[in-house]
């Protein structure tokens, strides 16, 4: 929606420039006015990608800053044979890639990786937010017979625009679900489980 609004503003300004140029303004003024759409788009790009996270701006923007790597655990009801699992706690990392208008969530465990297909942030009140996303999970090929590829959904809540931790729950197309608990460990993003473990070791040694 915000992208559409920005596009509407840009096109409106372009139309205005065309109209003004129709009155044959002096060349210097025409150049200044014609540069306005470009300036608006550039300012929006800076805000969308970076500026909205900065200090007081984040507070005013009322968008939680989740970008980076989170470490935690999942508790799952899944069992290949349908019995109640005896050991259902799994270490995991969540990597969030975020701008003001978009968010992507990737979850990595030792055995699989999930990528969000669609994600959204809902504002419940001042500094109070819910995050919902739909994902596809691809287990490593060596465990795929017992843990097939599947789809799922997840939700969690955060309080404050710069949260340090969150708890939530998830559910899957293979009729399982569970809870999750994560803590922010870095603004950097990782690409796999081994990278996450190395990052934890670096933080431990600092």
Mean pLDDT of 71-91: 83
Same domain, 12 and 92: no
Express each pLDDT in 158-201 by its tens digit. Answer: 999 999 999 999 999 988 999 999 999 999 999 999 999 999 99
Q: Do residues 174 and 94 share a domain?
A: yes
This prediction has a pTM of 0.85
pLDDT band at 203 (very low <50, low <70, confident <90, very high): very high
Q: What is the rounded distance in angstroms from the CA atom of residue 72 to the CA atom of residue 74? A: 7
Summarize pLDDT for 92-149 with one digit per residue, the tens: 999 999 999 999 999 999 999 999 999 999 999 999 999 999 999 999 999 999 889 9
Domain of residue 82 covers 68-205
User: The domain spanning residue 197 has which CATH number?
Assistant: 2.40.128
Residue 28 scores a pLDDT above 60: yes
Total count of domains within the chain:
2
**Can you tell me which residue has the tokens 């955060």?**
158
- Do 101 and 44 share a domain, yes or no? no
With contact defined as beta carbons under 8 Å apart, do 186 and 69 qualify?
A: yes
State whether 11 and 97 are in the same domain: no
Domain-embedded: residue 54: no
């Amino acid at each position: 929606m915000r992208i559409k609004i920005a596009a509407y503003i840009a096109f409106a300004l372009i139309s205005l420039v065309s109209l003004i140029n129709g009155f044959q303004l002096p060349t210097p003024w025409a150049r200044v006015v014609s540069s306005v759409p470009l300036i608006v788009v550039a300012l929006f790009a800076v805000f969308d990608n970076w500026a909205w996270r900065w200090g007081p701006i984040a507070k005013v923007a009322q968008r939680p800053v989740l970008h980076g790597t989170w470490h935690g655990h999942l508790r799952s009801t899944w069992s290949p044979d349908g019995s109640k699992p005896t050991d259902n706690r799994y270490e995991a990392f969540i990597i969030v890639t975020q701008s003001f208008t978009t968010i992507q969530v990737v979850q990595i465990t030792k055995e699989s990786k999930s990528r969000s297909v669609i994600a959204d942030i809902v504002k419940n009140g001042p500094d109070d937010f819910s995050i919902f996303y739909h994902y596809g999970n691809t287990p490593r090929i060596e465990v795929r017979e017992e843990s097939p590829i599947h789809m799922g959904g997840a939700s969690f809540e955060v309080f404050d625009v710069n949260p340090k931790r969150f708890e939530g729950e998830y559910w899957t197309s293979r009729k399982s679900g569970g809870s999750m608990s994560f803590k922010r460990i870095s603004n950097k993003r990782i690409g796999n489980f081994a990278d996450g473990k190395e990052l934890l070791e670096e933080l431990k040694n600092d």
